[in-house]
Every structure is written in C-alpha cells, then in structure tokens.
A and B are shown apart, each in its own frame.
Chain A
Amino acid sequence: MTQRILALHLGLIGLLFVLQFVLPPYHHDNIARIMVMAAYAMGYNLMFGYTGLLSLGHAMFFAAGMYGMGLSMQHAGFAAEAALAVGITAGFGLALGVGLLALRTTGVAFMIVTLMFAQALFLAILYFGPFTRGDEGFVIPLSARIFAGLRLSDPTIRYFAALALFALVLLAMLWLIRHPVGRVLIAIRENEERTRMLGYDTWRHKLFAVTASGTISGTAGAVYGLLFGYVGASFAEVPYSIFPLLWVLLGGAGTLVGPFIGTLFMFYLIDLASGVTDAYMLVVGVALLLLTLFAPRGIMGMLRERWLPWLP
C-alpha cells in the first residue's frame, strides 16, 4: 500500500520533470506557474482539507512571503537567498500571530477573522505606498534574481526551481499526513471534541496546522516573486484568498495531489475560456457553484470514493 502511494507521487514528480523537455514555451511557463501555485494550494489544503479550518484570508500569507522577499531585496539590498529566508520567516511569523489570535474563534467567526486580517494587510500595503509601491507593485530586476549562482529568469532553471518547490512541499505533506501529528489533524477535522477526549491538545495541533500552512503559503509567495520577478498588491487581495480554496475544492480537499490537479484544471479552464471570452470571473463563479452543488469532494475526492480508497 505504501509502495503504490510513493510510486504515485514520485511518478507525478517524474512526469513533471520529463515534461520540461517536451513542452512548448507557452505551456512550459504555465506549468512552472501552476507548480508554484499548487504549492500554495497544498499549504491551504493542510489547513482546510486536513484540519478542517476554513480560512478566507490566505492571501495574507502568500503576500507576506512575497513582500518579505521583495522588500528586503528592494530596501535592504538582500541577495536572493537571504531574501527568500526573510520571505519564509515573514510567512511563518504572520501565520503564528494570526493563528494565536484567530484560533480563539471557530466556524464562521474564524473565517471572518482571517478575512479581516488579510484585508488589513492588503490595506496596509496600499497605505505604506511610498515603501511598498502600493497598487503598482514593483519589478525585481533580473540582476537580483540569481539564486546560488543560477539565473532564475532562465525558463529551464525557473521550471526546475518551481518543480523543486512543488516536490518538496508534496513530499513533506505526504510525510506529515502519515505522521502521528497529521493523523491527529485529520481526527480534529472529523471530530474535534472526540480528539480532545483522546487526550490530544487540539488547540496546539490547530496552531501547528495554521503555522505550517501559512509558512508553506509564504514560501510559495516568495518563490513566485523570485521566479516571475514581480511583487504586487493584487496578490494580497481577496481573489488570491479565494483561488486556493477554489483549487483545493476542485481538486479534492484532503487529498494530496488534489491541489495540483485543481490548480492545473482551473488554470487551463480560464486559459481556454479567455480564448472565447474575457469573462474569467464568470468561469470562476460558475465553477464554484457547480462544485458546491455537484462535486463537493472534488476530482480526487471522487476518485478516492469510487475507485481508489487508498489515495492519501
């Protein structure tokens, strides 16, 4: 059982590795973006899909990572390596702080608290415009996008960097959900009171989930900024909190490869739709409605239910 799970995930990583050599440039660039965003979605999935905590403000963690990285480069002249570390730390710190406060609430109140904190961060980015360049954002110069001697602006290197992040997060998640701590997170999602009465400190486990989820999201944000060279306030806005929810729901909440499948599908759905119409929001809206109505478990969730019960 363990072997086929490992085979599936290593196979996916291997497939993405091979794709690099065959994809035409347009799709090559798309898949690189999708892999980084899928890492973001996996971070979201840890909280929503595995622990049962619905956040409506995850863009704040993504943006914290992105701005932590970008601002430390822009204003302190940090090199890419140090800036990435700053970005990850920013995601971690914000997630820990938000977790400590927001986890005092549950359910609807939790969603609204996360939404409000995210909104406050977005507004703060606008308010400190002279420092953050507000709405416009800023470009990270090519000369700064060199990581350990590798030019991240080069498509091939960029693709492999995105794949490295994706593989790292995927394998870390695989390890975590099979680890006792991950089992407890799933138990909390299923029945928090029962979990507590089995002697687990559910509050600390939830805090761990929020912090880890925020750190992964922040890392994805920092890497996205580094690879694609742009830092902007739109990444802190509400849509970027909704997207991971959408991707995870589409792919299957509480499944490991679901976030990737969901991101891939949604990306190409919008891509195809935009060939016909520029109404991408309509596509997103209709997709959300159809998902909640007809496939609340998502693609991988449905596969697991029907045919592949062993899917993690």
Chain B
Amino acid sequence: MAAVTLIETRALSRHFGGIRAVDGVNFALPEGELRALIGPNGAGKTTFVSLLCGRIAPSGGQVCFLGQDVTTLPAHRRIGMGMAYTFQITSVFGNLTVQENIALAVQRRRAGNGRALESETRAALAQVGLTDRAEQPARALSYGHQRLLEIAMGLGQRPRLLILDEPTQGLSDGEVAAFIALMREVARQTTILLIEHNMDVVMTLAERITVMDAGRIIAEGPPDEIRADARVQEAYLGKQHAEG
C-alpha cells in the first residue's frame, strides 16, 4: 500500500489498577481508509481511542500522528493537529442552540473569519440534515438528532482523522441508513476510525476491520476475512450468538 500512515501506536498500554484495559497494542491506520474497530463489551475499544486522542494518558507505549510522536501532547493539541472525537455518550452543549454547538466546533480554525465560520457551520448542519433545527437548544433534540449533532460537531472540525465512538447506538433504521450514506460521503476526504456494534454498518462501510478482545488486537483484515476468522467468531460473534 502506498498510502501514508496517518496514526500509529507502538506497544500502547493502559492499566487501571490490575486490569489491563489496553495491553501492548500495535496499530496503524493509513490515510484515507475507513476502518472499523470492533470487539465485545469491555474489550478496551473506548479506552484505546481515548489514548489515541489524549483523553487519558497511557501507562506505556507510543502514539504517532502525522509522523510525529504525540504521546505526551495534551488532548487539545492533538485535536488541533487534526483529530476529532465524538463521544460514545452524547455530550453536546445542551443549553446552547444546535447552530452554536457546531459553530464552536468550527470556530477553532475559523476564529478570525466570520464568513467562513458561518458557511462551514451551515455546511455541517446541512450534511447531517439539521438545518431546520439550527435555532433549537440542543437539549430539546431527540436522542437520534443529538447523535447527529455530535457527528456534525466532528465534521465541523474538518479533521484529518475522525474517531466515532458507537455513533449509531440508539438510532432508528432510517437514521442508520442516512448515517451510512453520510459516512460514504465523508470518507472521501477524511480518514475514519469507527467503533461500532452494528455489524451491518460495519460490514457495509469498513474497508478493513480491527478486532479487539481483552485489551489486545486479535485480528485485522478486510470484512470477508474477519467474518471467516475463527478467533473472531469465538471471541466476538460467538459470544453475541451465545447471548442472543
């Protein structure tokens, strides 16, 4: 593959007390890819991406972004370099309007440019289809719309790398379909790392899939290969079948 590696980790670890939430993970994501990160609950996916974007500090190992070691950089500096992170648990500014929420995401790059701020905010609003609700306070939105706002705040940052933590959780079937279409469009300009439980979404969207279990990467490859992988079936799909 000729693509440049956008983000890379070496032996990245995070321990909580005696629990190894993330355990020596080596991971690389080439620029332009749409990668899904899957694994059973408690596999360490959210901890792993939190380490990537600097929400929590690692116990050991390295994170490199755009060829630069960012392990010791605080979260806001990494975001400034072009990462964006959308929260698993919806975390919007409830008392501000939808438009103000997105403007806050845009304005970091466009602080001195009112016109660009306005047009990019409007563009992000339109991308997720919330234009009609721009003046509503975010807390008045339905859950599904809040998830979309969360994504729009990610898009408004025009990131090099967009990390989405379970974006379709709690969405209706129609909203999921719209999300898939949106991701296809966004993926043309942006590298995406997607934590997702909905296998249909994963199999439809992802170019490659990384599977985590118990803090380690146990498999990585294109969707077909992952579907056929025995370890993955045992660790993840098997458990789900057992649960269901």
Tell me the A residues contacting B by CB distance below 8 Å: 180, 183-184, 186-187, 190-191, 193-202
B96 nearest CB neighbor, chain A only: A190
Given A194-B92, A197-B55, residue A202 in contact with residue B100 (CB < 8 A): no
B107 at the interface (CB under 8 A from A): yes
List 19 additional A-B contacts (Cβ < 8 Å) besides A199-B79, A199-B108, A201-B76.
A180-B111, A183-B107, A184-B107, A187-B93, A190-B94, A191-B91, A193-B91, A194-B92, A194-B93, A195-B104, A196-B75, A196-B76, A197-B76, A197-B79, A198-B79, A198-B104, A199-B76, A199-B157, A201-B74
Is B53 close to A, CB under 8 A? yes
Interface-central residue, A180, A194, A196, A198, by most chain B CB under 10 Å: A198
Counting chain B CB atoms within 10 Å of each CB, the highest count among A180, A184, A196 belongs to A180
Q: Which B residue sits closest to A187, measured CB to CB?
A: B104
One of A180, A187, A191, A200 near B76 (C-beta < 8 A): A200
Chain B residues in the interface with A (C-beta under 8 A): 53, 55, 74-77, 79-80, 85, 87, 91-96, 100, 103-105, 107-108, 111, 153, 157
What would be 20 A-B contacts, judged by CB atoms less than 8 Å apart?
A183-B103, A183-B104, A183-B107, A184-B107, A186-B96, A187-B96, A187-B104, A190-B93, A190-B95, A191-B91, A193-B91, A195-B104, A197-B75, A197-B76, A197-B79, A197-B85, A197-B87, A198-B108, A199-B79, A199-B157
Q: Give chain B residues whose Cβ lies under 8 Å from the Cβ of A197.
A: 53, 55, 75-76, 79, 85, 87
- Bound-state Cα–Cα, A194 to B92, Å: 7
Complex: A191 Cα to B105 Cα, angstroms: 13
The verdict on A200 contacting B93 (CB below 8 Å), with A183-B100, A183-B103 known, is no
Instruction: Pick from B75, B94, B108 the residue with the most CB of A within 10 Å.
Output: B75
In the complex, A190 Cα to B91 Cα: how many Å? Answer: 10
With known contacts A191-B91, A193-B91, A180–B107 Cβ distance under 8 A: yes
**Residues of A with C-beta under 8 A to B105:** 198
- Give the chain B neighbours of A191 by CB distance below 8 A: 91-94
* Shortest Cβ distance from residue B55 to the other chain A in the assembled complex, whole angstroms: 7
| B215 CB, nearest partner CB in chain A, Å | 23
Q: Given the complex, which residues of B lie within 8 Å of A201, measured CB to CB?
A: 74, 76-77
Chain A's interface: helix, strand, loop or mixed, by majority? helix
CA distance A187 to B76 in the complex (A): 14
From B55, B77, B95, B157, give the contact of A198 (CB < 8 A). Answer: B157
Considering the complex, give the chain A residue whose CB is closest to the CB of B85: A197
B85 / chain A contacts, CB cutoff of 8 Å: 197
Query: What residues on A are CB-neighbors of B93 within 8 Å?
Result: 187, 190-191, 194
Q: Would you give the shortest CB distance from B98 to chain A, in whole angstroms?
A: 14
Per the bound structure, the CA–CA distance linking A202 and B104 in Å amounts to: 13
A180 CA to B153 CA, complexed, in Å: 16
- Contact assessment for A194 and B107 in the assembled complex, using a CB-CB cutoff below 8 Å: no
Q: Are A194 and B91 closer than 8 Å at their CB atoms?
A: yes
Which residues of A have CB within 8 Å of B53? Answer: 197
| Residue of B with least CB distance to A193 | B91
Chain B, residue nearest A195 (CB): B104
- Is B103 in contact with A194, judged by CB distance below 8 angstroms? no
Task: State in angstroms the CA–CA spacing of A183 and B80 once bound together.
Answer: 18
Using Cβ atoms and an 8 Å threshold, which residues of chain A touch B94? 190-191
Given the known inter-chain contacts A191-B93, A194-B92, A194-B93, please indicate yes or no for A200 contacting B87, CB distance below 8 A.
no
For residue B91, which residues in chain A have a CB less than 8 angstroms away from its CB? 191, 193-194
Q: What are the 9 A-B residue pairs with the smallest beta carbon separation, nearest first? A: A199-B79, A180-B111, A190-B93, A199-B80, A194-B91, A201-B76, A199-B108, A180-B107, A199-B76
Please give me the residue from chain B that is nearest to A181 by CB atom.
B111
Note all chain A residues with C-beta closer than 8 A to B79: 197-199
**B residues near A190, Cβ cutoff 8 Å:** 93-96
Closest to A179 in B: B111
- B104 proximity list for chain A (CB < 8 A): 183-184, 187, 195, 198
Please, how many angstroms separate the alpha-carbon atoms of A186 and B104 in the complex? 10
Residue ID in chain A nearest B83 by CB atoms: A199
Give bound CA distance, A239 to B219, whole Å: 64
Q: How far is the CA of A199 from the CA of B85 in the complex (A)?
A: 10
Report Cα–Cα, A187/B104, bound state, in Å: 8
Q: How many whole Å from B100's CB to the nearest CB in chain A?
A: 7
- Whether the Cβ atoms of A198 and B111 lie closer than 8 Å is no
Give min CB distance, B202 to chain A, whole Å. Answer: 24
